[in-house]
Amino acid sequence: MAGTGTDTGRFTVGVSRDFLDPDGRNVWGDIRLGELDAAGVDWHYLPRDTDELLAPDIDGLDAVLFAAPAVTARTFEGVTRPPILLARFGVGYDAVDLDACTRHGALVTITPDGARRPVATAALTMLLAVLHNVAAKDRLVRQGRWAEREAWMGLGLTGRRIGLLGLGNTARDLVDLLRPFDTEIIAYDPYCPPETARELGVRLADADTVMAEADAVIVMCVLTEETFHLVDARRLSLMKPSAVLLNVARGPIVDERALIDALRDGRLRGAGLDVFETEPPAPDNPLLTMDHVVLSPHSLAWTDEMSAGNGGSAVRAVLDVASGRLPRFVVNRDVLGHAYLSERLGARAAVASSEDGQQEPAGVHP
């Protein structure tokens, strides 16, 4: 590991350039970067828009706040002074090599507190849109096919059985949003404590049972090796022909080819997808021409609420680290024993203590 340099100066943050349009305007609106200014933190947008962060992007920065770029082993090649923090704007981290970050003493955080309600609301929006055939009915009007409207009777949500693949924070928020509809909720999540499910009024079951019993299955788990193609041809074959499948998580959790086949063959009533195996989908993707499928370009939860929530959460992580504190939503917990991280956080804590006149213990602390 190269020398740590100095942590006695101002804290410096790079913000990934994918937040900006070609004219340099932040298309996400207010992501709370003003809070960095108020705290005296130096920040700037990275000089290039990139799909993968590399040494020229991050070397010498104390933290990076990023959304789209991947963080890989190559990210750290040639870096002399890695950032203490890589703060991801969002909850997914499938494009982040956590092992590489841990080896180089860099914390990785996500923003579940900021994304929780917007994504849950987006899931409910998609569910209602699919059940009510909103996309198909919109096309009937636009294409002068008014007389066909009786062919598109929808399904009411009240009293239906909803299946969740994943019962994390966002899915739990969706459970609350579904309460007025008197739905029965069944979920697959091997990591959810049974007592938590009981408190929510959710019945835990294996994935096959969820697929077979639910009127609507909603994918809300993270993408890992374990969940890749969790929804495959065999599990799709378990679903009722009257059921619908929604994916608001990550595209590769669903075997898209198998889903297309099931929809074509009439083995599913419909689907709603905010995500795809390949993004954007190819122009000849059959999903694009199916009337009983509702699609969104991985942005259904993109609202001012999402911008402020994710941005505020990421900025709080930055400000915590700038003060020598451990941020809340660290995903690579193994990094906490890394000597480089301990030294850098300790130095930041000492700076913060001297600036506010308080005696605060240095080092890694929650």
Active centre residues (catalytic): 250, 279, 298
Task: Sort residue 6 into left (φ over 0), alpha (ψ -120 to 50) or beta.
Answer: beta
Peptide bond into 283 cis (omega under 30): no
Question: Could you give phi then psi for residue 311, rounded to 5 degrees?
Answer: -65, -45
Q: Which of 212, 241, 283 is nearest to 231 (CA)?
A: 212
**Tokens representing residue 242 in the block:** 């009257």
Q: How many residues does the chain have?
A: 366
**H-type alpha helices, the chain:** 34-38, 55-58, 98-103, 112-131, 134-142, 169-178, 194-200, 207-213, 233-237, 256-264, 304-322, 339-356
Query: What is the residue whose two structure tokens read 């705290």?
Result: 39
176 burial type by CB count under 10 A (0-12 exposed, 13-18 middle, 19+ buried): exposed
| Alpha-carbon radius of gyration of the chain | 23
Q: Are 186 and 178 in contact (CB under 8 A)?
A: no
Q: Which of 209, 219, 279 is nearest to 253 (CA)?
A: 219
How crowded is the C-beta side of 26, counted as CA atoms within 13 Å? 16
Q: Which of 113, 124, 248, 112 is nearest to 176 (CA)?
A: 124
